[in-house]
Amino acid sequence: MGTVFSFDISAPGVSAHALQGVVDWLHRMDAMFSTYRPDSEISRLDRGSLQLGECSPEVHEVLELCEQASRDSGGYFTARLPGGLDPSGMVKGWAVERASTMLQAAGSTAHAVNGGGDIQLLGKPQDGRPWTIGIADPFRRTALATTVAGTDMAVATSSTAERGQHIIDPTSGLPATALASITVTGRNLTTVDAYATAALAMGDKAKSWISGLSGVEAFAITATGERWQTPNFPTAGNPGN
């Protein structure tokens, strides 16, 4: 995945051992799914030196989730990129949500897990307020575009500013440029993250697509700096600064 995961565990009693187990699992998933590692299962599967039937259950699960997201989004989400098989758009959100679930199984009732800016929340911080998540402004790195608040919530942002314009509109084969960034919220990060990726690729069609989905909200900033959001987007307050 090549990204940094951070954990904010506000629930008491979660052992360092349990946390280490989660971290170890994330390292294993990185080794399994990395497109930068020629020995990863994904790389071997892509070049045909490994058959799907020989892959780990996690690979099967993620690829099925990719297919589901592709169907949900009318093909705007895809793991089959021109350069080859790349489920990275699914893996990060899936891994963060799974890490959160693992912590919950270890006894945590309240935590935030962040993988490269995609976040799964459970419960509340220690002081009882909701978790507060800043949304990066794609045009002004010194500012937050807005802030969201919630408890059992997932937040994912896709942006053309991250790593260049790396999200391709699969229907045109060209980089998606209509939206500078889009943030999607919902209950589970696996879905939310994939939807954020699909929505960025959709561009102008994203608002009506998200509006038709249950339990999912979005906030977007267009390439020209205009903003829109769906009616129940969980804004916490005014933009930062």
Partner 1 sequence: MKRAIVTIAATIAGIVLLLGFKTHPMPETTSTGPVAASSPTAGASQQPSSGATAAVPPATATPATGAPATGTSTLTGTTVETQYGPVQVQVTVTGTKITDVTAIQVPSGNGRDQQINSYAIPQLTQEVLTAQSAHVDMVSGGTYTSEGYLTSLQSALDKIGIK
**Dihedral of CA 185/186/190/192: which sign?**
negative
* Least distance to partner 1, CB of residue 35, Å: 10
Tell whether residue 157 is a contact of partner 1 (CB under 8 A): yes
- 97 Cβ contact partners less than 8 Å away, ≥ 6 residues apart: 120, 154, 188, 189, 190
Q: How far apart are CA 115 and CA 99, in angstroms?
A: 10
| 4 three-state secondary structure | coil
Cβ at position 210, least distance to partner 1 in Å: 16
Site string for partner 1, 179-208 (x = CB under 8 A): --x-x-------------------------
Question: Least distance from C-beta 53 to partner 1, angstroms?
Answer: 30
Q: Bridge-partner residues for 123, per DSSP?
A: none
Among 32, 69, 155, 176, binds partner 1 (CB under 8 A): 155
Distance CA 195, CA 172 (A): 18
Angle between helices 88-105 and 57-72 (to 10 degrees): 120
Shortest reach from residue 181's CB to partner 1, in Å: 6
Taking the C-alpha atoms of residue 59 and residue 42, their distance in angstroms, rounded to an integer, is 8
Contacting partner 1 (CB under 8 A), which of 6, 171, 172, 232?
6
Instruction: Please identify, among the stretches 44-52, 68-76, 142-150, 198-206, the one whose residues bind partner 1 according to the rule CB under 8 A.
Output: 142-150
Kindly list the residues in this chain that would bind partner 1 in the complex (CB under 8 A).
Answer: 2-4, 6-12, 14, 16-17, 19-20, 23, 36, 112, 114, 116-119, 125-127, 131-136, 138, 141-144, 147-148, 155-159, 161-164, 181, 183, 240-241
